[in-house]
Amino acid sequence: MKASAFAYARATSVANVLELLSAYGERAKVLSGGQSLLPAMNLRLIAPELVVDIGELGELRGIAVKGSVITIGALTRHADLLKSSEIAAHAPLLKDAVAHVAHPAIRNRGTIGGSLAQADPASELPACMLTLGATIVVCGPGGERRIAAREFFSGIYETALTPQDLLVAVELPVTPRTSTHFFHEFARRHGDYAIVGLAAQAVVTDGRFADLRLGFFAVGDRPLLAMSASRLVGVSITPAVLSEACTALDAELDPPEDQQATSAMRRHLAKVLLTRCVSSLLARPDLCAGASA
Ligand SMILES: Cc1cc2nc3c(=O)[nH]c(=O)nc-3n(C[C@H](O)[C@H](O)[C@H](O)COP(=O)(O)OP(=O)(O)OC[C@H]3O[C@@H](n4cnc5c(N)ncnc54)[C@H](O)[C@@H]3O)c2cc1C
């Protein structure tokens, strides 16, 4: 199938985008890498009257580190993140995660702004934003808004963006040198959307977690920053403590059932990931060996 007829505008500036989005509202769609928008249009799941191509807005592309903040422009492509020495040095979790987003051809076009605006609950990058404590920078008719990642994702393909808003950048705190991370997802093939995934970051001191952030994806209608992580912080981790954390995690999940997996399968896999994550971050293979998950 091919998309319904639509008008096309190549935006000349952020102000020009906002003008067009204000005029058209829900009848317009922003085009970044097109890797989600164009398939949806071709399948006629959506039929915008106007497509606003922001691809020429160079000011929205790039990665800059200033002090303790990394700013990533919305048009920065997945492939740029993957090869960036700044991301490797200051947000290594993100680098590991991007390697699991689709395939090279898609990573060469798809952008971080597009991925976050799309808000697919099975996507890697939204969960990373929660784990890393990102701020999403948005321009709209009322000016600039800065939205904490935990407030940004509101449902399946739903975010705090209004039809008049443009996501312009993402800000991440530089990962402390004492941090360590874990990224893993279960997928049918490398590059497929995850069945369940976990992006975690931690500070480990004397064999205990001083800090632990667990960003799960494909376990509900939006990425989940698991509160059950707090049960593992500051305590000696035994199989019993880990098992209690798995039970607490289970209560936080609301996994969908689809052709990839049942809800029960996703619950099981999330607990397997939590166990592997804790075992890996603490370098305690005994925790995996003893796990019933
Ligand atoms: C075969 C295939 C496999 C894939 N596998 C994965 C995967 O494993 N993991 C994964 O995370 N993704 C996957 N994707 C999606 C891919 O990562 C997309 O690149 C990404 O979801 C959207 O980025 P984009 O730049 O292409 O956005 P677009 O397709 O251009 O836009 C997506 C949506 O976001 C809106 N939008 C885009 N930019 C902005 C902005 N700056 N401000 C406001 N709204 C905006 C658009 O209007 C549209 O609604 C896959 C895609 C394909 C085709």
Instruction: Check if CATH label 3.30.390.50 holds for domain 179-289.
Output: yes
Taking CA atoms only, the protein residue closest to ligand 1 atom 21 is: 115
Give me the pLDDT at residue 289, please.
74
> What's the rounded mean pLDDT across residues 126-145?
98
Instruction: Check if CATH label 2.60.120.590 holds for domain 7-53.
Output: no
Residues above pLDDT 70, as percent of the chain: 99
Q: Do domains 60-173 and 179-289 have the same CATH topology?
A: no
Strand 50-53 and strand 7-10: the pairing is parallel
Average pLDDT, the chain: 96
CA–CA distance, 148 with 202 (Å, rounded to integer): 20
Query: For residue 290, what pLDDT band results from cuts at 50, 70 and 90?
Result: low
- For the Cβ of 80 lying below 6 angstroms from any atom of ligand 1, the answer is no
**Ligand 1 closest atom vs CA 161:** 43
Query: For residue 1, what pLDDT band results from cuts at 50, 70 and 90?
Result: confident
Structure confidence by residue, pLDDT tens digits, 144-156: 999 999 999 999 9
- For the Cβ of 74 lying below 6 angstroms from any atom of ligand 1, the answer is yes
Alpha carbon of 9 to ligand 1 centroid (Å): 19
Give me the pLDDT at residue 190, please.
85
For residue 159, pLDDT over 80 is answered with yes
- For the Cβ of 24 lying below 6 angstroms from any atom of ligand 1, the answer is no
Max distance between CA atoms of the chain, in angstroms, equals 62
Contact 231, 277 (CB under 8 A): no
CATH code for the domain defined by 60-173: 3.30.465.10
For residue 291, pLDDT over 90 is answered with no
Taking CA atoms only, the protein residue closest to ligand 1 atom 37 is: 114
Domain boundaries, the chain: 7-53, 60-173, 179-289
Give me the pLDDT at residue 293, please.
45
Residues above pLDDT 90, as percent of the chain: 96
Structure confidence by residue, pLDDT tens digits, 160-192: 999 999 999 999 999 999 999 999 999 998 888
The tokens for 241 are: 């403590």
The tokens for 57 are: 């807005």
Give me the pLDDT at residue 284, please.
93
Alpha carbon of 229 to ligand 1 centroid (Å): 29
The helix/strand/coil state of 153 is strand
- For the Cβ of 72 lying below 6 angstroms from any atom of ligand 1, the answer is no
Residue 35's identity, in one-letter code, is Q
Give me the pLDDT at residue 192, please.
86
For residue 135, pLDDT over 90 is answered with yes
For residue 124, pLDDT over 50 is answered with yes
More confident residue, 289 or 95: 95
CA–CA distance, 118 with 29 (Å, rounded to integer): 11
Structure confidence by residue, pLDDT tens digits, 206-261: 999 999 999 999 999 999 999 999 999 999 999 999 999 999 999 999 999 999 99
CA–CA distance, 105 with 98 (Å, rounded to integer): 13
